[in-house]
Amino acid sequence: MILSRVIVVDDCDADQFISKIIINRYDSNIEVLQAYDGEEALDILDSQENKPQVIFLDINMPRMDGHEFLKIYSERKDQQAPVVVMLTSSSQERDKESCRTHQCVKQYLEKPLKKEDLEQVCKIIIPLNANISNKSKT
């Protein structure tokens, strides 16, 4: 069991639906949390005891968009912090660059989410998980 819990932050119902289907097709055991904007995502992250491992984050959202979310999220010094994978329909270079400035952003994906993308994400997760378990052992 590599991925057990993720959160998809997107204001579009259709995209939420697509992401959920794809993730569950990849591994039906993965629990998919949903947030419709940055603010809601922060609320969910704060309220959940069992933190998701990956945040799939869209950029253009009402209220608090992806950039604003990253700004606040990066300032949190949380060891257990889930990695962020951008999942957006923006292929603009300025968006990509802006996201790369944040260390927590590990991947920049364009919609729609695909099976191969998830495999890539898992490869990133494994060494991170190993590190965390090593640290907990020592």
Partner 1 sequence: MNTVFGKFLTQGAKHSIAALFFIYVVISIVLLLLTISLFVTPGIKDMVERIESVSRDYEITTVKSNIERFISSRAQILQDIAQSPVIVNSAMQSSSNNVYLKDFMEDLLLFGKKEEFYLANILGQLVYKANSDDERHINPEEAWFIDLLDNKKNFTFEVIEENDEFLFQIAVPIKFKHLAEGVFFANVKIDPAIITGIDFTQKSRALLLKSRDGKVLKTDLEHIVAPLELKRNLPEIESELSYIFDQNLLEREQQQLLSGITIRLVAVTVVSFLLLTVIGYKIILAPYRNLRLSEEKLRVVNENLEVLKNDAVTVSDRMQAILESAAEAIITINDQGAIRSFNRAAEVMFDYKETDILGENVKILMPSPYREEHDKYLTSYMKTRKKNMIGEKKEEIAIRKNGEIFPIDLSVSQVRADGELLFTGLISDITERKKAEENLAQANTELEEFAYRTSHDLRSPILSCISLLDMTEQSIRESDQDNAIFTLSYAQISLKKLETLIRDILALTETKNKEEEEQEIDFPIMVHDALDKLAHMDGFKDIDIHKDFQFDQKLFTKKLRLCMILENLISNTIKYRDPEKKYSYAKISTREENDHFVLEVKDNGLGIPKDNQDKLFTMFKRFHPKVAFGSGLGLYLMKKSADVLNGEISFNDHGEGSLFRLSIPFYRKVF
| Binding stretches for partner 1 (CB under 8 A) | 11-15, 17-18, 21, 36-37, 40, 59-63, 88-90, 92, 111-112
Q: What is the DSSP string of 97-134?
A: HHHHTSTTEEEEEESSP-HHHHHHHHHHHHHHHHHHHH
Residue 102 φ/ψ, nearest 5 degrees: -95, 130
* Closer by beta carbon to partner 1, 94 or else 137: 94
* Closer by beta carbon to partner 1, 121 or else 125: 121
Query: Minimum CB separation from partner 1 for residue 126, in Å?
Result: 27
- In angstroms, rounded to a whole number, what is the distance separating the alpha carbons of residues 13 and 56? 14
* Closer by beta carbon to partner 1, 115 or else 123: 115
3-state helix, strand, coil in the chain (%, to 5): 45, 20, 35
Query: Minimum CB separation from partner 1 for residue 72, in Å?
Result: 13
Query: Minimum CB separation from partner 1 for residue 12, in Å?
Result: 7
* Closer by beta carbon to partner 1, 34 or else 74: 34
